[in-house]
Amino acid sequence: MENKPTKDPVCGMELEPKEVKATAVYKGKTYNFCEFGCKAKFDGDPEKYTKTSGTNTVHSSKKDNGSKKTGCCSR
Binding site for Zn ion (CB under 5 A): 8, 11, 34, 38
Q: How far is the CB of 66 from Zn ion (least distance, A)?
A: 27
- DSSP tally for the chain: helices H, then strands E: 2, 4
Distance of alpha carbon 31 from alpha carbon 51, whole angstroms: 13
Q: Which is nearer to Zn ion, 8 or 69 (CB)?
A: 8
Kind plus residue range of the DSSP H or E element containing 22: strand 22-26
Q: Which is nearer to Zn ion, 49 or 64 (CB)?
A: 49
Q: How far is the CB of 47 from Zn ion (least distance, A)?
A: 18
Distance of alpha carbon 8 from alpha carbon 46, whole angstroms: 12
Q: How far is the CB of 1 from Zn ion (least distance, A)?
A: 20
Q: Which is nearer to Zn ion, 29 or 63 (CB)?
A: 29
